[in-house]
Chains A and B, each alone.
Chain A
Amino acid sequence: MRSGTYIYKDSFYHRFDDRAKLIFTLLFSIALIASPSFYPALSMMLLSILLSLFSVGFKESLLNFKRILLLVIFIIIFSPFQKRDAESIISIGSFMLISRDSLFSSVMILFKFVGISFIFSLLLETERIEDIVRALRYFHISYSASLTISMTLSLIPALSYRYSEIREAIELRKGKTELSTLFPSLVSLIVSAVKLIPENASLLEERGFTGEERPSYRSYGMNGFIFTQMLLSVIIPLAFFLWR
């Protein structure tokens, strides 16, 4: 089974052209990854959060944050231990706990991770998968590659759905979800994911897929603002990229 993350709303970002949005997401992510300075990275993270709040609302934005919370905690806990030979900020006796450089680098990792997660989540929440495929094909990405990307994008929420079903099944059976059941549920999830490979290949071929280029049932209508939107999609990330 597949599942999408698209949420129907009428926000500014929803109305933004899918091709421009795809370009914006990619350039924004590159600019954020490449950003070496504190303020540009912070601004970009805040922009992605603001866009999310205005496009899908507080509840969905909070859910997006909850999904990455565990990784955020790991970054906060482990990153400060990285650079041992820099200026110390906190130390216990002669043991340096956190250095200035390691604190800076962990904050930067955090900004980049949160910003990229939000901007990609936003793409999937404001565009249907088939529209992302349409945009990819517009940029001459091959039919097979676009299909693979679309199936992968819809597989992630589907596996997350499957995982929640397993946890639900365990809770119904045991009355609670114990830590000891985490391993079997993860194994079951991996088995399901592996099983999906021949099943999906089989289903695709049974519906006639050969890998050859095929016409799409979706097309682009007239969009008078596409040039402006494309321009914005390039200028905004570029401005951040040049801000050092």
Chain B
Amino acid sequence: MIEICNLELSYEGEEKIFSSLSLKIEKNKPVLIISEPGCGKTSLAKALTGTASKFHSAKVSGSFFLDSLDLFSLDVPERKNYVARSIQNPDEAILFPTVENEIAFPLEQRCLKREEMRKEISLLLDRYDLLKYRDADTAELSGGEKRRLNLATLDAISPKLFIYDEAFDELSASWRKRLLELMREKEYVLVLGSHYLFEYENFFESTYELCDGSLFPYEKKSVPFVFPESKVGLCEHTLEISNLTFSQSHRAMREKKTFDLTVPTMRIESGRAYLLEGENGAGKSTLARLITGILEKRGGSITYDGKAVDEKRRKTLVSYLFQNPFNQLYLPRVQDELMSVSSSPEEAERVADLFSLSLTDYTEELSYGKAKMLQAAIYYILNRPFAIFDEVDSAISYRDTMSLLTLYLERGSGVLMISHDERIISSFGGRIYHMREGRLE
């Protein structure tokens, strides 16, 4: 049994994140911890793997035992035989430029024989449906594929306790189910998440809520999940896409398979919400980048209120909230980020309140969820007729997702939401677009 007793954690010069956190994880009885962004889920994972104290100057105390083995007495590389985590930000989790190399590294550290390593690499690539990307550049993978690579790497470490930090984010619905199946095969499982997913039902032995540094039994909210209504009547502007085509290929791959994207027709009206769903790597983010003008289309047309608009103009019409929020933040503090687009300090302050942000926080120190909120706040101030939320629901609560959407819709923006969340998809009131292997349906 895994036993965590009176865990305390504080970063240099900051208040305690946990005061006396205790938790038991029994063999084959997976545990789920839910909390709002910035409550310390990732810090908990880092404290257990030993990296919080070693690399992030955190003060950690308490006890952490696997049966009678004191895990806190082990250094990080030794401890990884017993506990390892998946990293929340899949971009940060990648160390090597090739998919195969990324998985091979932990196997090399386990000193496996060459033949065993090769077998294991193929097995893990197959398990996470990455065989076709074996020699691909890791930077060219989609968000979901990067997540799967991170999960394959975690399996390659092969610890006793698997900590999944927001591991379901970016995964498609079918992959979320598959991940749960794979979790059944692990001895000890701890899942950290920002919201209770539809797929979690009847899987976890115990579920807790992390709040104010302590764990409480999680009470499922009885309030029905209500999706905000589209603001019908605010339709002032229209973005229309017809016969859009685009193609690209992985430059490092032996098999030169070109990814082709086709959008026969698509219409986004301001003041309305739309949803785009599809498997990982189907081309959702690529479509978002094409609409925003980051990528150049090969053929077809994109019009704004009936007039063709080029890439440069589209960049000012469409707010695109990247899947990885940190790729869009570049100023030191929250205040600097908001002031870079605000007309006055008062406006920045008001929006910070609206999005539950603290102006004095440093952007690099924000949690993944808080970074998403800041990203949304920046584009909220810019007040553009259209917005694309690329998996904004990952790492933030349902309540926050809905409040973001409501705020944008109330301003009259047309919002295209990219999501894999079954709960959001099933209760969505607006038009749903499906992306299937590069084709919009």
**Interface residue ranges, A against B (CB under 8 Å):** 1-4, 6-8, 128-130, 150-151, 154, 157-158, 161-162, 165-166, 168-173, 175, 184-185, 187-188, 191, 195, 198-210, 214-219
CB distance B340 to A1 under 8 Å? no
Of the candidates B54, B101, B113, which one forms a contact with A202 in the assembled complex, judged by CB atoms under 8 Å apart? B54
Residues of B within 8 A of A203 (CB): 87, 93, 95
Of the candidates B98, B100, B101, B109, which one forms a contact with A214 in the assembled complex, judged by CB atoms under 8 Å apart? B109
Is B135 interfacial (CB-CB < 8 Å)? yes
Residues of A within 8 A of B114 (CB): 215-217, 219
CB distance B55 to A1 under 8 Å? no
Is B430 interfacial (CB-CB < 8 Å)? no
Inter-chain CB contacts under 8 Å: number: 160
B116: nearest chain-A partner, CB-CB: A217
CB distance B254 to A154 under 8 Å? no
B371 to chain A, nearest CB (A): 12
CB distance B292 to A172 under 8 Å? yes
Of the candidates A4, A195, A207, which one forms a contact with B106 in the assembled complex, judged by CB atoms under 8 Å apart? A207
Of the candidates B51, B104, B138, B312, which one forms a contact with A206 in the assembled complex, judged by CB atoms under 8 Å apart? B51
The CA of A151 and the CA of B105, in the complex, are separated in Å by 12
CB distance B315 to A2 under 8 Å? no
The CA of A173 and the CA of B321, in the complex, are separated in Å by 11
Q: A169-B330, A188-B331 are in contact. Are A1 and B139 (CB under 8 A)?
A: yes
Residues of B within 8 A of A198 (CB): 55-56
Known: A2-B95, A129-B96, A129-B98. 14 other contacts (CB 8 A): A2-B97, A3-B139, A4-B97, A151-B95, A166-B327, A168-B294, A169-B330, A170-B330, A187-B332, A198-B56, A205-B76, A208-B110, A209-B77, A214-B109
Write out, one digit per residue, whether chain B residues 359-390 have a CB within 8 A of any chain A CB (1) or not (0): 00000100000000000001000100000000
Secondary structure of the A contact surface, majority rule: helix
* Total residues of chain B contacting the partner, CB 8 A: 67
Is B431 interfacial (CB-CB < 8 Å)? no
The CA of A1 and the CA of B94, in the complex, are separated in Å by 5
B95: nearest chain-A partner, CB-CB: A203
CB distance B101 to A208 under 8 Å? no
CB distance B51 to A8 under 8 Å? no
Is B108 interfacial (CB-CB < 8 Å)? yes
CB distance A154 to B97 under 8 Å? yes
CB distance A161 to B139 under 8 Å? yes
A2: nearest chain-B partner, CB-CB: B97
Residues of A within 8 A of B340 (CB): 173
A169: nearest chain-B partner, CB-CB: B328
The CA of A216 and the CA of B382, in the complex, are separated in Å by 51
Is B91 interfacial (CB-CB < 8 Å)? yes
The CA of A162 and the CA of B92, in the complex, are separated in Å by 12
CB distance B252 to A206 under 8 Å? no
A196: nearest chain-B partner, CB-CB: B92
Residues of A within 8 A of B322 (CB): 169
CB distance B97 to A172 under 8 Å? no
Q: A8-B256, A205-B51 are in contact. Are A2 and B94 (CB under 8 A)?
A: yes
CB distance A4 to B252 under 8 Å? yes
CB distance B105 to A165 under 8 Å? no
A40 to chain B, nearest CB (A): 34
Q: A1-B138, A128-B252, A217-B104 are in contact. Are A154 and B93 (CB under 8 A)?
A: no
CB distance A2 to B139 under 8 Å? yes
The CA of A210 and the CA of B74, in the complex, are separated in Å by 13
CB distance A206 to B95 under 8 Å? no
Residues of A within 8 A of B113 (CB): 215
What are 20 A-B pairs at a CB distance below 8 A? A7-B252, A8-B256, A129-B96, A130-B98, A151-B95, A161-B139, A165-B328, A168-B294, A169-B328, A172-B328, A175-B316, A198-B56, A199-B55, A199-B92, A200-B95, A202-B76, A209-B77, A214-B109, A217-B104, A217-B108
Q: A207-B80, A217-B117 are in contact. Are A175 and B315 (CB under 8 A)?
A: yes
Interface residues of B in 78-122 (CB under 8 A from A): 80-81, 84-85, 87, 91-98, 100-101, 104-114, 117-118, 121
